[in-house]
Amino acid sequence: MSFRHAMLCLLLGWGLITAPGIRAQSLDDIEVAGAGGESRITVRFATQVRYQRHVVDNSSQSVQIFLQVTGASEDDGVFEDTRNSPPGHDLPGFEVRYLAPQGGVPARRLDVNFESPVELIRVGQAEDNRSIVLILKSETVPPETVPPSVAVANEPAAILAQAKSEMAAQRYDAAVASLNRILNLPPNDASQEAQELIGQVREALGGIDRARAEYQLYLKLYPEGPGAERVRARLAGLNLPEAQAVAGGRAPRPSQTLTWGSLSAFYYGGNSRIRTDNIIITPATNATTIDTQTLSQTDQSALVTNLDANVRLRGGDWDNRFVLRNIGTLSFLDQQANENRLTALYGDFRYQPQRIGARLGRQSSTSGSVLGRFDGASASWGVTEKWRIGAIAGVPAQDGLGNRPSFAALTVDGDTPIEGLGLGFFAVRQAVDGITDRLAVGTELRYFKDLTSVFGLVDYDIQFDQLNVASVQGSYQFGSGGVFNFLYDYRRTPTLQVSNALLADPTRTLADLLDSQSSTELQLQALGLTPVSKVALAGITYPVSDRWQLGAEFRLSSLTGTEGAGDIPPQPGTGNVYTTTLQAIGTGIFGDSGVITMTASQLSADAYDGRLFALNSRFRFGSRWTLEPAIRWYQQDNASGSSLTRLAPTLRALFQWREHFSLEGEIAYERSRSDAALVSERNNILFYYLGCRWDF
């Protein structure tokens, strides 16, 4: 057993036994695929997200993607979530880092940092509402396995001859790089054969899905001729079991084991000092005195660890993967308990000839039928090349109200004859204490073609006879680099289910409530305690020069009130909240890698008016240092006559110490002041973290 594999086994065991955890992770997975000289990086989230805009620094090594979470999110308290690139792709190594909003700025940020410059083709929403995709040209420089003296000329025919030699010598990685060089050139005499050969190389490497994509692209580009017949035969062979294909003369697919992941440890600390001035008026003398009280305390002291470990086993008919992710805290404060949050622990099994897949363990849902993480199983079967059926069953990973429910769901999804249009249908039943908690059907619509993407979701609860979710989001990317995006989202929050009636008394169970209430009364109580959230927004970002792009967004949101029940009094709704945001993003500022983002927002509601200004920046110095200074100012006037002002400067630093080892820290200071008629309060908060990360 290699040292790398031995260390991975130790980490898997250590993560299960000792890793302390606090919150769920926001990033779910990173996948790399592609065909035709292009590579696709798909960043999958554990919730629904909406792409807004992106910016590439002048060094072409870093991409900042701005997005918003549009579904239920578990990332409260998550400052950062990081994944490194999986092995076995035609790209420089890269790291994906998710940054949660800070200082009142609603947009999340996704940073994708590459080890060397890349050529991006498109960045935007992926083919669902839980993913962001980056499409870029595959790396065209082969690995350093060929001496400089054997350098190949740039003529496509010469590169093709070199690729064939590399295939004959079974140097498949080098062959992929050579063939990508041809496919990234304008169409030429070698393009057709290169497209056929790269499918064969992918197949030899065991990447059946990527081989299938390359063959399908070949047939789309060259549907007639002897080459098309050969490719159709190979494509059909991908659906044959390994033993049958080998008996027919095909070489056995090689077995391959890949391991990757990361381990990080950070210390989080925080202190606050609160000064309160109370104005006291003595009625008899009308004398005024000021009573001042000061409180200093340590708000946070914890060691946070994050483990992400992956093993992929490919060979023959199977492509299997095992994943462990754990995140959390070891608290040093008496009033804060230690926690452990296992966010992912599953095995993913794919039988490639019949397009059958199954995932067992703790996982995130990929369908609108199931919301959030769960412990259980999901399976799918590609009944045709375009249509799949699936089933999901399990229990929610998080404890909720009352006893933990169980659920089961059926799904059907696929592509329609209309190019770019896909549909999905689902039905789900959730039960607890022998009672149907949720019974719903729904549909998903997705349209992705060229620079346009639209995704829609409808979830209707049959038991309540109520609409649970109706959402549509989309974007259009202008050829000049601009982006227009929109969203309308109507949803019950939390998800409508009978167990929401327990909000009135969380210490009881549904079975307890049924002793004194009818099922109809329980449903009415749950409905009255489940508010409706509505959000409508539209935004546009457009480049105005080589260095600057400007953006504007208008957002209208509201949350309805709830009825009183038990010890819970009625809660008023928010009314309409209007938010107008302007943003300017500059690249190449104070150096090629410099990026500056300026944001100004105006909020207006029945209860308050607010103003926000934020300045965020990032600068890279050489290949080791990254600095991110920021400052945020927020001011709010309440209808009650009180006011709030907050100023928060922040500095984050990252040092790449070794190839697989980095140090990171952040310090943030917040000074706030709130004033009311007889009370004035001053808050000073210092927050910081420092730690290290190892990528393996």
How would you write 85-143 as a 3-class SS string? Answer: CCCCCCCCCEEEEEECCCCCCCCEEEEEEECCCCCEEEEEECCCCCEEEEEEECCCCCC
Q: What is the pLDDT of residue 427?
A: 96
Q: What is the pLDDT of residue 254?
A: 67
Q: What confidence tens digit (pLDDT) does each residue in 276-311 have?
A: 655 454 455 444 444 555 566 678 899 999 999 999
Q: What confidence tens digit (pLDDT) does each residue in 162-192 have?
A: 888 888 887 887 888 888 888 888 888 888 9
Where does the pLDDT of residue 7 fall: very low under 50, low under 70, confident under 90, or very high at 90 and above? Answer: very low
- With a cut of 90, say whether residue 536 has pLDDT above it: yes
Name which residue leads in pLDDT, 288 or 217: 217
| Secondary structure tally for the chain: helices H, strands E | 9, 31
Contact (CB, 8 A) for 169 and 150: no
Q: What is the pLDDT of residue 612?
A: 93
17 conformational bin, left if phi > 0, alpha if psi -120 to 50, beta if neither: alpha
Among 273-282, 306-315, 536-545, the least confident range: 273-282
* Burial tier of 442 (Cβ tally within 10 Å: 0-12, 13-18, 19+): buried
Q: What is the pLDDT of residue 521?
A: 87
Among 8-17, 189-198, 418-427, 433-442, the least confident range: 8-17
Contact (CB, 8 A) for 253 and 316: yes
Q: What is the pLDDT of residue 256?
A: 77
Q: What predicted TM-score, i.e. pTM, was given to this entire model? A: 0.77
Q: What is the pLDDT of residue 23?
A: 45
- With a cut of 60, say whether residue 59 has pLDDT above it: yes
Compute the average pLDDT of residues 132-145: 67
* CA pair distance 279, 289, nearest whole angstrom: 6
For the chain, the domains span 38-137, 148-256
CATH 1.10.3210.10 fits domain 148-256: no
- With a cut of 60, say whether residue 10 has pLDDT above it: no
* Burial tier of 562 (Cβ tally within 10 Å: 0-12, 13-18, 19+): buried
Compute the average pLDDT of residues 544-564: 92
* CA pair distance 527, 501, nearest whole angstrom: 8
517 three-class SS: coil
Ranges of H-type helices in 393-472? none
Q: What is the pLDDT of residue 225?
A: 87
Compute the average pLDDT of residues 20-31: 61
- Nearest CA to 172 among 143, 215, 140? 143
Q: What is the pLDDT of residue 103?
A: 45
Q: What is the mean pLDDT of the chain?
A: 82
- With a cut of 90, say whether residue 484 has pLDDT above it: yes
Structure tokens at 661: 């080892």
Parallel/antiparallel/unpaired status of strands 608-621 and 287-315: unpaired
Where does the pLDDT of residue 411 fall: very low under 50, low under 70, confident under 90, or very high at 90 and above? Answer: very high
Give the percent of the chain with pLDDT over 70: 84
Give the DSSP letter of residue 501: G
Strand locations in 199-338 (E): 256-282, 287-315, 318-331
Compute the average pLDDT of residues 548-558: 94
- With a cut of 50, say whether residue 141 has pLDDT above it: no
Give the percent of the chain with pLDDT over 90: 34
31 conformational bin, left if phi > 0, alpha if psi -120 to 50, beta if neither: beta
Contact (CB, 8 A) for 346 and 323: yes
* Burial tier of 188 (Cβ tally within 10 Å: 0-12, 13-18, 19+): middle
Among 64-73, 314-323, 436-445, 601-610, the least confident range: 64-73
- With a cut of 90, say whether residue 9 has pLDDT above it: no
* CA pair distance 123, 51, nearest whole angstrom: 9
* CA pair distance 492, 72, nearest whole angstrom: 10
Structure tokens at 554: 């208008």
Q: What is the pLDDT of residue 513?
A: 84
- Nearest CA to 88 among 323, 319, 379, 344? 319
- With a cut of 80, say whether residue 106 has pLDDT above it: no
Compute the average pLDDT of residues 593-610: 91
